[in-house]
Each structure stands twice: as structure tokens, then as C-alpha cells.
Amino acid sequence: MNEPKDSRNITEVDLLLINGHVVTLNDRDERHPHGAVAIRGEKIFAVGSCEAVQESVNARRTLDVTGCVVLPGLINSHTHAAMTLFRGLADDLPLMDWLQKHVFPAEQKLTEDWVYRGTLLACAEMIRSGTTTFCDMYLFEHKVAEAASHAGMRALVGEVLYDFPSPNYGPWENGLKHTEELIRAWQKDPLVRIAVEPHALYTCSPDLLKKCFALAEKYDVPVITHLSETQSEVDQILEQYGCRPVVHLENLGLLSSRLIADHCVALHESDMELLARRSVRVVHNPESNMKLASGIAPVPQLLSMGIPVALGTDGCASNNDLDLFGEMDTCAKLHKVSSLDPTAMPALTVLHMATRNGAKALGLENQVGELSPGKLADVIVVDFQKPHLTPVYDPVSHLVYAARGADVSHSIIHGRVVMEDRQLKTLDFEEIAGHARQFARLITS
């Protein structure tokens, strides 16, 4: 029988997870093999051993997660969510054929409604695979923000900007205005934030890039761009501006901690030093880089220089899923074989990339990425009672090398249960799937 609690020290909480193996990913990498997490409102109230936490709280609702691992929700730091609509449309093609004969023509059929629906499909997939925050770049991004909000997902999103006219906003000047409106509209939202997102150095003039940074500074929001994704991009910038992409940004005075740089595959040692010195945030997308044959980003070196590299899936046209569990596995293995060093990229390092480092990259390090009292309650539960997760010596090993998105049983974002026993609580998958099939018929007819 439990002893009566001392009511003076008891706090009422909304949700209490008990009997899980809690992997906090806090600074001390604390684990609680028979642990509990208490959630009050949108925040984590307590994390610790079951005994200690249960003594200090009265819970409106208690969830017994015996046999499960509880950890911070995963952070997909680079994707193009609505491209779920193009999943498997065209694979195994030369890059230019893929883009010009398949992706671009299909994108001509996009409207803001399709982007909304495609993003809902992505949110359904991400929630079901343990992602609680995503960072997006695409067209009609106001609908991405709406979809994330509807799904109850945390997101950093921004309209893609480039020199040529956009099907959404027309000329780039309008794109900047559109972005500014988005920033203002979502400024107080608890889940969705806006970034300024110039597409890449080969699609944006120095003038546009500078205006993007000025806008971002005005509102103190991040700038996100694709950077050094391929050697041919580097060659093109070298030819156009006489310097490598990273140096081009440095020359424009735009390398800073405000910048989130996606891919960073084709880097020289000197590029890496510049990125580190300027505290640029880097997002690694191993599966997309592999599938498009872009190359292998020097992630172990970037990490060793103190850059907290984050992890992303990129869009579904080049992956072809949004499962960060699979991405972690591939990430760890890819860098071991490419360096011929089995000690490269240990499991915990890779798990940090998909959680803590993601939070740092997106400027959310004070809010999410670990299970600690006071942080926002973005929490996932992974059910280890499966053959492929048996036996357990170290849960972190399984999270990276054996678990997959389908093993996530519960997902909580901002204190709200958005998936329970694999059932989505905020989204109607049947309706979403119907729309996606309708779109597939549209672009293949």
C-alpha cells in the first residue's frame, strides 16, 4: 500500500507517464529505467524515477507505458512536407531528368489546397513516426503553417524565395512581403514560427540574399537555405562569383548563427572552419544525399569542430519517407563506412542530432529537445515489446539501430496527445489519403 502523500508538496498535473524507461537526453544524459514523466499544461513538470515523481504529483490521467522507452520527440530539421504527394513518382533517374521531366511538371499542378493536403499527409506520417517538430521550405507556405497548426505539430516554416517568379506570390519583391506578413501573422503562435527562406545561392542573387537577411534581422527570425548540396553547385558558384558557396555568403556578410544551412555536402576544410567560426547551424540529410547521389557530408568533422549538426529527411521525392528513426540508422552507418571507422558516429551522438541538435539548429534549445522540467512537453513513447527490439541491453542502441517509426505508440506535442496507441487524434487519415490519391490521379492522367 502506498503511503499517503504530503498534500502540501503535491502538484496537480494533467498527464503522468509511468513505468517507462525514460531517456532524458539532458546535459547529464540521465536515464530512469523505471521512470516517469509528469506533464502540466504544455510543459514538463517532473522527470525521474517512478517513485520520486509519483510522490510529488496527482495526475488527472495516468498512462502506464511498461515495456516502452520515453524520450523527447524527434526533430526533422529539413523537409519539404507537401512533397509527400510526389512520393515514388520518379526514382533512380539522372538529377536533371528527375527535376525537369518529373518534379517541376508535377509542381505546376500544385495549388495552395494541394500543399495544405500534402502537408497534412506529411504530418500524419511524421506524428506516426515520432517526429514532433519539423522545419519546412516550400511554396504556399501559409498553408503549411495552417496544416501544422491543425495537426498540432511544432514547426518552423517559410516560403521559398528565388529570383524568378513564384506560382504563389509572383516576383520576389512580393515574396519578401508575403514572408513579412507570415512572420507577423504567426508571431504569437505557440507552435508555428516563420523563417526567411532563400532557396539557394544559385537561384538567389546577392541582392535578394541580403534583403532576406535584413528582413530576418528585423524580426529576429532564422534564415534557411540549401548550401553546398552538390559539387556541381559549388562549381557553378565558383564560376559565377569566383568563390565557393560558403565564402560567397561570408563575402556578403551573411554567415552567422542566424543561418540554418541545409545539406553542406561539398565542403572544403576551410568552408567547415568558416561555418564553425560563424556559428552557422547545419542540417544533414543523409538518405536524400544518398538517393540523389549528391555525396556524403563531412558530419563527423563538423561535429568535432563544435557545430551541433541536426538531422533532416528532406522531402519525400528524394528519400522517400519521413521516418527519422530510419534516418538515424542510415546516418550512423553511412559515416562509419565512409570513414572506415566503426567508432564514428556512435548511437547517442546520432540520437542527439535528431533531438537536442535539432532544437539548437532551429533556435528552440530552450524549449524542446530533451526531457527536463520546464521544457515544453514534446514527448514520444516507443514500444519495445517487439521481436526486433528484444532483448534490450541499451535502449539508445535500439532507438538508432533497430527501432522504426512504426514502433512509436504515443506522441505528445505541447502537452497534447496527438497519437495514442498509434491512432492519430488530430488528423483523419482516410480523408487525407483520399485527397492524396486524387492528386496522384491528377498528375498521372
Site for a copy of itself in 138-157 (CB under 8 A): none
**Residues numbered 91-110 forming contacts with a copy of itself, rule: CB under 8 A:** 91-95, 98
Whole-Å CA distances, 66 to 36, 69, 90, 382, 385: 10, 8, 42, 10, 9
E-strand ranges in 249-364 read 259-263, 281-284, 310-311
One of 76, 79, 119, 129 touching a copy of itself (CB under 8 A): 129
Report the distance separating Cα 299 and Cα 370, nearest Å: 22
Residue with cell 510529488: 56
Among 6, 293, 374, 445, binds a copy of itself (CB under 8 A): 293
Which grid coordinates are listed for 166?
Answer: 513564384
Cα distance from N-terminal residue to C-terminal residue, the chain: 67
Instruction: Show the site string, 108-127: x = touches a copy of itself by CB under 8 A, - = not.
Output: -------------x--xx--
Q: Judged by CB, which is closer to a copy of itself: 114, or 138?
A: 114
Contacts of 246 (CB under 8 A, 6+ apart): 227, 228, 255, 267, 271, 274, 275
Closest residue by Cα to residue 58 from 9, 21, 22? 9
What is the size of the binding site for a copy of itself (CB under 8 A)?
73
**Residue 35, strand partner residues:** 20, 49
Minimum CB separation of residue 329 from a copy of itself in Å reads 7
Residue 336 within binding range of a copy of itself, rule CB under 8 A: yes
Q: Pattern of binders to a copy of itself over 378-397, x per CB under 8 A?
A: -------xxxx-xxxxx--x
* Minimum gap (Å) between residue 334 Cβ and a copy of itself: 7
Are the C-beta atoms of residues 245 and 210 closer than 8 Å to each other?
no
Residue among 122 and 227 whose Cβ is closer to a copy of itself? 122
Q: Is 269 exposed, middle or buried (0-12, 13-18, 19+ CB in 10 A)?
A: exposed
User: Quick check: 340 binds a copy of itself (CB under 8 A)?
Assistant: yes
Q: What binding mask, one character per residue, do residues 412-431 give for a copy of itself by CB under 8 A, x or -?
A: -----------------x--
Judged by CB, which is closer to a copy of itself: 198, or 315?
315
What is the nearest approach in angstroms of a copy of itself to the Cβ of residue 318? 9
Stretch that binds a copy of itself, among 8-16, 72-80, 188-196, 285-293 (CB under 8 A): 285-293
In eight-state DSSP terms, residue 58 is E
> Is residue 334 a contact point for a copy of itself (CB under 8 A)?
yes
Closest distance between a copy of itself and the C-beta of residue 261, in Å? Answer: 20
332 lines the binding site for a copy of itself (CB under 8 A) = yes
